Amino acid sequence: VCTGTDMKLLRPSSPESHYETLRHLYQGCQVVQGNLELTYLPADADTSFLKDIKEVQGYVLIAENQVSGLELQSLRIIRGTQLFQDRYALAVMGNAGLSGAPGLRQLGMRHLTEILKGGVRIERNPELCFQETILWSDILHRHNEFRADIQVESTRTRSCECPGGGGCAAREGSGGVPAPLAPPAHNSSCAGPDCRALCAEGHCWGEGKQDCQT
């Protein structure tokens, strides 16, 4: 068990000590008693210190990061005892890379199955793929009073399609409704195979078979 943070979007005075603080807080931690706030991480940040986290009792905030991925593959449940902006249990905002850094490219929360209280807000992540394929309504608990608060923006500056792989809702989509397939884009920045081909239901957290929403 470890304590979380309550900094919201406050910019750290020292990026280096900010990273070390987060690493020290969450290394080996399975249950975060407060909020999991991952902000202002540089492109080269090693986020393996997050890999053991299974439960967050407050909210999860992922904002203003340049890192391309976060190792939250073990996260199963967000309880939402505290909410970001009094409304959101999961907020993923403004993770755009600066000066050539890619920014956040996939969520990778392949074991997340339950949000007990609070909605979902995902916006201003120009490199992020697959978020609109997730069935968020399956994750938000049926007694969650914020079930209707699902704001998932999928405007992006890259293609989530690969040659021969079709696409994974790479066009504008909203609220978990996949957009129509577009022709394959022959593009070096593609995200990988079509998640709808890899995953039986076409809902995925990332690029591989292990990233299917179950």
Predicted confidence at residue 88, as pLDDT, reads 98
Q: Is the pLDDT of residue 83 over 70?
A: yes
Domain CATH code at residue 1 = 3.80.20.20
- Quick one: CA dihedral 170, 175, 177, 180, positive or negative? negative
- pLDDT tens profile 151-206: 999 999 888 865 434 344 333 333 444 443 333 333 334 545 567 677 878 889 98
Residue 178 belongs to a domain: no
Note the pLDDT of residue 51. Answer: 98
Per-position DSSP letters for 74-127, written without gaps between them: T--EE--SS-BTTTEEEEEE--B-STT--B------TT--EE-S-EEEEE--TT
73 within a domain of the structure (yes/no):
yes
Q: How many domains does the chain have?
A: 1
In a domain, 187, yes or no: no
In whole angstroms, give the CA distance from residue 38 to residue 32: 13
Average pLDDT over residues 82-91: 98
Three-class SS state of 3:
coil
Distance between CA 10 and CA 80 in Å, rounded? 20
pLDDT of residue 20: 96
Judge whether 165 lies within some domain.
no
Is residue 184, in this structure, part of any structural domain at all?
no
CB atoms within 10 A of CB 73: 19
What is the share, in percent, of the chain residues with pLDDT greater than 70? 83
pTM of the model: 0.85
Percentage of the chain with pLDDT > 90? 69
Residue 210 within a domain: no
Q: What is the pLDDT of residue 192?
A: 54
CA distance 4 to 80: 13
Decide if 125 is inside a domain. Answer: yes
Are the CB atoms for 31 and 57 separated by under 8 Å?
A: yes
Residue at 6 is within a domain: yes
What pLDDT sits at residue 24?
96
Burial 36-69 (b: 16+ CB within 10 A, else e): bbbbbbeeebebebbeebebbbbbbbbbbbbbbb
pLDDT of residue 188: 38
pLDDT single digits (tens) 112-136: 999 999 999 999 999 999 999 999 9
pLDDT of residue 196: 65
Domain that holds residue 91: 1-160
Query: Please, what sign has the CA dihedral across residues 115, 89, 93, 17?
Result: negative
Region 3-27: what's the mean pLDDT? 95
